[in-house]
């Protein structure tokens, strides 16, 4: 069933009731930072039309989140600058504000007739939505716009692996592929009178000011934020590289994937738009299927993990069999223990690992295969698995532009056995899958990867 053109299973009434007399309908843009392909926005405009009110869009930047950084803020602000422009062209009022998102929303909710927000899966954004719903004093509707198959439709249990999740998600995939249509609003944008929003003219300056010294630095030169860049990447990927995707994933030199993860992380592109574009290519279905396996099955398996595992951000969220085998090997001698300084100077002495660190520190991203190697090495080179897990998650969420997502927690936990199976027993890892420098050399050409990263970040091609 469709509600205002949106599948009813994406629409959740959080606070019921008659619309209040407020001047406008408020759409709180939290997760899906885009002006198009956005079901919450499309629904908000249609409902505002029905109520005869204008829509006000408020985007919030959570500068009180523990992992906030200038890098992540700059990426979001670059995107919001474009979103603001696009909404203005459509006659929709927009403002962005920073701070505690719940407080910012409640300030504007006081004058609203109804509040619409987009969905979220992680603890902090969920708690913010709950706080807002409890205090808004108006009906609240939450609309999922971040995944293809809504999490509660895909599975009602904690899935153990892609093989158990895949058939469930595939069963529903077809009926959730529709893109929402955004109609021009019938009621003109409200005269703001809403107070100041953030000045988006200079995202770099604004990010520095809001971050207040909390690095790392922005990486716009490598990964500029915004839906336009996301779409350009998607176009290039679909036209030039999708056909080679399965074979490119088996190399570590050269680009490997779509590099869309940071845009998906902040909702600057919808996964539905990505699929729609792929369907217009003539690559064989099994090739497109290899990509959909990552974009839908793996990505939404990560969402299943954070939704169904309350300890998703703690070591104890890792499956019991994996924790048991890692505990049995806790006292094993480590090949080495690396200090935080050596990590942050990309100077552990393992060339591929150090190049991966450099890629992360300087560009905010990392080749997918190296990311697995990176996580596995951090397990091997830290005193115990608990500390290894925490350290990896902290680095992941601070430095990567796509950090702080469901994928981040599932990706790090994967290094500790999540969604995986036991392998032959080895030191330190027990029966958790290991990855070693020798294995990397056997399968790939790490020297080319090292040279390429160093060239890209402007470091001398041979490490000193
Ligand atoms: C230790 C570790 C940490 C990770 N941390 C993150 C993270 O913070 N954020 C993040 O988005 N991904 C994370 N991943 C998953 C994966 O490495 C990245 O999604 C991928 O490298 C992004 O590159 P891409 O966009 O070119 O991927 P593509 O190959 O083009 O895939 C398309 C999309 O599918 C999704 N995807 C791809 N691989 C995976 C995967 N293994 N699990 C879940 N979704 C996937 C991503 O959204 C990606 O953008 C992590 C993996 C590991 C092993």
**Nearest C-alpha to atom 34 of ligand 1 is from which residue?**
295
- Give me the residues paired with residue 61 across strands: 98
**Considering only CA atoms, which residue is closest to atom 19 of ligand 1?**
261
pLDDT tens per residue, range 254-306: 777 999 999 999 999 999 999 999 999 999 989 999 999 999 999 999 999 99
Name the residue with the closest Cα to ligand 1, atom 50.
411
Q: Indicate where the chain has its CATH 3.40.50.620 domain(s).
A: 2-145
Residue with tokens 């160093």: 454
Nearest CA to ligand 1 atom 44: 299
Atom number in ligand 1 closest to CA 403 = 8
Please name every residue paired with 28 in a beta bridge, in sequence order, or none if there are none.
58, 117
2-145, superfamily in CATH? HUPs (3.40.50.620)
Mutate to test the pocket of ligand 1, among 407, 415, 417, 433 (most ligand atoms within 8 A of CB): 407
With CA atoms as reference, report the closest residue to 46 among 165, 155, 181: 181
End-to-end CA distance of the chain, in Å?
62
Give Cβ neighbours of residue 262 (< 8 Å, ≥ 6 apart): 75, 223, 225, 364, 365, 400, 401, 402
What's the pLDDT at 1? 82
331, 333, 270: which is closest to 144 by C-alpha? 270
405 lines ligand 1 (CB under 6 A): yes
- Does the beta carbon of 361 lie inside 6 Å of ligand 1? no
Q: Whose CA is nearest to atom 28 of ligand 1?
A: 257
Residue intervals in the chain for CATH 1.25.40.80: 147-180+227-308
Q: Point out which residues pair with 142 in neighbouring strands.
A: 12, 117
Instruction: Give tens-digit pLDDT for 125-140.
Output: 999 999 999 999 999 9
What's residue 464's pLDDT?
A: 54
What would the DSSP string read from start to end of 423-440?
Answer: -S-BTTTBTS----HHHH
Q: Is 304 in the pocket of ligand 1 (CB under 6 A)?
A: no
Nearest CA to ligand 1 atom 40: 298
CATH number of the domain located at residue range(s) 147-180+227-308 in this protein: 1.25.40.80
Q: How far is the CA of 73 from the centre of ligand 1 (A)?
A: 20
Which residue's alpha carbon is nearest to atom 53 within ligand 1? Answer: 372
State the fold for domain 315-457.
DNA Cyclobutane Dipyrimidine Photolyase, subunit A; domain 3 (1.10.579)
Most informative mutation of 257, 292, 318 for ligand 1 (most atoms within 8 A of CB): 257
Residue 345 alpha carbon to ligand 1 centre in Å: 24
Tell me the best of 402, 420, 432, 434 to mutate to test the pocket of ligand 1, counting ligand atoms within 8 Å of each CB and taking the most: 402
What is the Cβ-side half-sphere exposure of residue 69, based on CA atoms within 13 angstroms? 22
Structure tokens given for 313: 């951000």
- 319: which 2 tokens? 């499956």
22 CA distance to ligand 1 centroid (A)? 42
| Three-state secondary structure call for residue 117 | strand
115 Cβ below 6 A of ligand 1: no
* Ligand 1 center from residue 367 Cα (angstroms): 9
- Residue 260, ligand 1, Cβ within 6 A: yes
Atom of ligand 1 minimally distant from the CA of 261: 49
> Distance from the CA of 261 to the center of ligand 1, in angstroms?
6
pLDDT for res 190:
75
- Cβ(400) – ligand 1 distance below 6 Å: yes
- Please state, in angstroms and rounded to a whole number, the distance separating the CA atoms of residues 329 and 323: 10
396 ligand 1 Cβ < 6 A: yes
| Rounded mean pLDDT for each run of 10 residues along the chain, 464 residues in total | 89 96 96 97 97 96 95 98 96 96 96 96 98 97 98 97 97 95 88 82 97 96 97 96 88 86 98 96 92 97 98 98 98 96 97 97 96 98 98 98 98 98 98 96 93 90 60
């Amino acid at each position: 069933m469709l509600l205002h053109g949106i599948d009813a299973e994406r629409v959740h009434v959080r606070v019921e009731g008659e619309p209040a007399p407020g001047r406008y309908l408020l759409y709180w843009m939290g997760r899906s930072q885009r002006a198009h392909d956005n079901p919450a926005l499309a629904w908000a405009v249609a409902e505002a039309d029905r109520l005869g009110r204008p829509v006000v869009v408020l985007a919030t930047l959570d500068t009180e989140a523990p992992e906030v950084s200038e890098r992540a803020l700059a990426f979001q602000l670059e995107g919001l600058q474009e979103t603001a422009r696009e909404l203005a062209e459509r006659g929709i009022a927009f403002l962005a504000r920073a701070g505690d998102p719940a407080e910012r929303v409640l300030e504007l909710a006081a004058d609203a007739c109804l509040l619409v927000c987009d969905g979220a899966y992680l603890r902090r954004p969920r708690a913010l939505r709950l706080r807002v719903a409890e205090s808004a004093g108006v009906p609240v509707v939450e609309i999922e716009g971040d995944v293809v198959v809504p999490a509660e439709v895909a599975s009602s249990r904690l899935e153990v692996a892609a093989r158990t999740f895949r058939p469930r998600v595939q069963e529903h995939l077809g009926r959730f592929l529709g893109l929402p249509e955004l109609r021009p609003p019938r009621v003109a944008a409200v005269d703001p009178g809403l107070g100041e929003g953030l000045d988006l003219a200079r995202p770099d300056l604004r990010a520095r000011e809001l971050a207040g010294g909390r690095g790392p630095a922005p990486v716009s030169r490598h990964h500029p934020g915004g839906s336009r860049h996301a779409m350009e990447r998607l176009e290039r990927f679909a036209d030039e590289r999708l056909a080679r995707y399965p074979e490119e994933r088996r190399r570590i030199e050269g680009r490997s994937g779509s590099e869309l993860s940071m845009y998906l992380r902040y909702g600057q592109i919808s996964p539905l738009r990505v699929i729609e574009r792929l369907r217009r290519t003539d690559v064989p279905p099994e090739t497109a299927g290899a990509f959909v396996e990552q974009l839908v099955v793996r990505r939404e398996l990560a969402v299943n993990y954070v939704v169904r595992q309350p300890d998703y951000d703690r070591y104890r969220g890792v499956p019991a069999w994996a924790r048991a085998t890692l505990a049995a090997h806790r006292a094993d001698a480590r090949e080495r223990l690396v200090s935080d300084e050596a990590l942050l100077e990309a100077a552990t002495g393992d060339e591929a690992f150090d190049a991966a660190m450099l890629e992360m520190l300087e560009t905010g991203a990392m080749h997918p295969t190296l990311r697995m190697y990176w996580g596995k090495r951090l397990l091997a080179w830290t005193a115990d698995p608990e500390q290894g897990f925490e350290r990896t998650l902290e680095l992941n969420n601070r430095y990567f532009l796509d950090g702080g997502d469901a994928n981040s927690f599932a990706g790090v936990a994967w290094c500790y056995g999540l969604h995986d199976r036991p392998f032959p027993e080895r030191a330190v890892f027990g029966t958790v899958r290991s990855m070693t420098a020798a294995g990397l050399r056997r399968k790939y050409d790490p020297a080319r990867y090292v040279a390429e990263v160093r060239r890209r970040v402007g470091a001398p091609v041979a490490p000193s």
